[in-house]
Chain A
Amino acid sequence: MKRHGKGMAIGLVLALAFCSAAWAQDTIKIGVVGPRTGPAAATGAAFDEGIKLAVEYVNGKGGVLGKKLEVAFEDTAGAPDKAASGFERLVTRDKVVMVLGESHSSSALAQIEVANRMKIPFIVVEAWADEITAKNYRYVFRAGPSNSGVVNQTIAQWVKAENFKRAFVVAENTDWGIGIGKLTENALAKAGIPYESMITERNSQDHYVELTKIKAFKPDVVLAYIYGVGLHYFVAQAGETGVSPQAVVLDGAGPPSLWPDYWKNVGDYGDLECFVSSMHEKVELTPLAKLFREAYTKKFGKAPTDYKSRSIFDGILIAADAINRAKATDAEKLVEALEKTNLETTRGTAKFGLTPGGPDYHQWMPPMLVIQWQNKQQVVLYPPQAATGKLKR
């Protein structure tokens, strides 16, 4: 009996090992990095939603190389050290063939070094610092906004189009904030718009002193590059100190103005605030965008708000498409396939730049919108061809 038991146990272990090996062979893993904790943990929640929809979509269409696509997630908490080690864990422990995601530039800048060293293709989806692609690393791509793209194609053009006379640039002290703040200053100088600027502490909850300085300058637009909950503090305190509505406040990051508790945190001061976004219910650029909205609403019982759920969705589709076209999971073949990407996503046709020497290398910049909250409704202001209303002050 004892011998039987022992035999059964060994058999069970072997069967389980066989099953897990067989299971492993039936899937191809890609990794996603992003903040599930920390001040921008909401991005992790948006990523989770996008991943679920993308995996269902890809596997529903036959998966990758005839196998199921599987996603392993690593929380980076917005900390570069955690981001780099999380990336490395995905490659060494989870054996992923490609990594994508991230929404903190400082974290992404740490991760691209790991990607380059380990020779693993990495598609950044929502970290905007130009340096990420400007380093021209072979294995690093970005299917999402870049600082220069957002400023030069959208924010600066909008500021000019609305005929603002005086601007104030407030940027958080991160790679993203300092980079996008500087680019904005350059664009404003080029357009001949008088401006002043300041750097603010990323984790600061209190902006009263800064807002008093801003008020003294009498701007008619405040371009705020503050990500996370800090943006809520800034908007609410801008109202309390009387900076808004005299000046229009633009959230240059976007998603914090769309988080579920935005209105609870900023109260009435949130109305007339503007923000950048790549998503609006009335501006669907492709049939896939409509499909995403329907699938999202069906699965989560609410309309999609944080556009980063759609960014990661697109990223996974691009990754799956590259794996299928490469007909292999070899890094070199995947890079070659990614360079030849020409795929319709929810935000238009993804195609990476191939000219080395600047931030446009391995970069696909999706179109961005400037939206204003008007009576808690999103009104698209820019670009003019997508506008659903006019700026209210």
Chain B
Amino acid sequence: MLAISVMNGLVIGVIYALAALGVSLVVGIMNVINFAHGELYILAGYFSFLFASTLGMPFAPAMGLAVALVFLFGLLIERLLIRPTYGNDMYSLILTFILSIVLQNAFLLIFGPYPNKPPLWVRGASEIFGLFSYGNQRLAALVSGAALIALVFLVLQKTWFGRIIRATSQDRAMAEWNGVNTTRLNMLSFGLGCALAAAAGVILSPVFPVTPTAGVPIALTAFVVVVLGGMGSMWGCVVGGLLLGLVENLGAAFISSGYKNVFGFLILILVLLVRPSGLFGRAKL
């Protein structure tokens, strides 16, 4: 029981972290909370389903195309909805909230109420060290999710673009004085945040089918992870996501599965009582 709980906690934790990274990136750079984050995850899942299942594309290009389209959609949202609200965080909050409702209803209208999922990359299940049986698609999601998180950190730490992001996150004015076009960076960061939500969506939709309203709990969990890890902290997202995944699964295994979500909120309250700014505070990117 312990082994599968830990394994499952890690898988779910990586998924949580991936979904939260996009939120954290946008909060860190723009100080904007994107309430439609979960719906962008769902949108990518639907695109992936549409391209792979309906149009018959191989799953990898279908996923890539889905992420690219959501990235472009993110750029459009930033240009049309977020940019005019700079200076007033409340407006962007309300606008993205409205966007989430509009998207939910659009999904319902276009795709209907039934769950949809793209084809599995791998079928069946594997015995893990002879201890338990585990779905191959979940294992694939774990590997690809971890690889994607590693790639995000690599880009942030080792590339010129990453350096600009970190600089702007630390001191926007100073970055501007050094020639960073922060307006364009905002747009790219928002698009990238949406693309991260989309990446989580395409990786997970073969495991957890998408429905019009399934984005709500995803966004909620992502926000919990971001607050748990510390607003704007990318490392906080990873640690927060893994912690949440492990606590939920161990709690369900050894206390009660009916209160799975309560354990997540309990750990959040406990952490915030000890460290009000989250595990990694206002850590630098």
Contacts and interface: CB of A to CB of B under 8 A. Distances in A.
Contacts of A242: 125, 133
B8 A241 contact: no
Interface in B11-34: 12
Contacts of B104: 37
A203 B260 CA distance: 10
A203 B259 CA distance: 11
B258 interface: yes
Contact of B258 (A41, A173, A213, A216): A173
Given A45-B112, A240-B135, A208 B211 contact: no
B114 interface: yes
Contact of B211 (A36, A41, A173, A260): A41
B106 interface: no
Contact of B257 (A37, A42, A200): A200
A37 B256 CA distance: 29
A264 B53 contact: yes
B115 A261 contact: yes
Contact of A237 (B53, B123, B135): B135
Contact of B134 (A200, A240, A259, A260): A240
B115 A208 contact: no
A216 B135 CA distance: 18
A264 B118 CA distance: 8
Contact of B209 (A173, A216, A265): A265
Given A45-B113, A209-B249, A38 B8 contact: no
Interface in A1-45: 36-39, 41-42, 44-45
A39 B211 contact: yes
A378 to B, nearest CB: 18
Contacts of A38: 213
A208 B113 contact: no
Interface residues of A, number: 37
B117 A264 contact: yes
B114 A260 contact: yes
A205 B19 CA distance: 15
A43 to B, nearest CB: 8
Contacts of A36: 108, 113
A350 to B, nearest CB: 28
A208 B5 CA distance: 8
Contact of A39 (B105, B213, B257): B213
A94 interface: no
Given A201-B258, A241-B133, A264 B253 contact: no
Nearest to B211: A229
Contacts of B214: 39, 229
A197 to B, nearest CB: 11
Contacts of A200: 257-258, 260
A373 interface: no
Given A38-B213, A201-B257, A209-B5, A261 B208 contact: no
A328 interface: no
Interface in B209-229: 209, 211-214, 217
Nearest to B261: A201
B1 interface: yes
B209 to A, nearest CB: 5
Interface string A164-196: 000000000100000000000000000000000
A208 B4 contact: yes
A229 B257 contact: no
Contacts of B140: none
B120 interface: yes
Given A198-B257, A209-B249, A242-B125, 15 more contacts: A37-B105, A39-B211, A39-B214, A41-B211, A200-B257, A204-B257, A206-B8, A209-B252, A212-B5, A212-B132, A213-B1, A229-B211, A259-B115, A261-B116, A264-B117
24 contacts: A36-B113, A37-B104, A37-B108, A37-B212, A37-B213, A38-B213, A41-B213, A45-B112, A199-B256, A199-B258, A206-B12, A208-B4, A209-B4, A209-B257, A229-B211, A240-B134, A240-B135, A242-B133, A259-B114, A259-B115, A260-B114, A261-B117, A264-B53, A267-B123
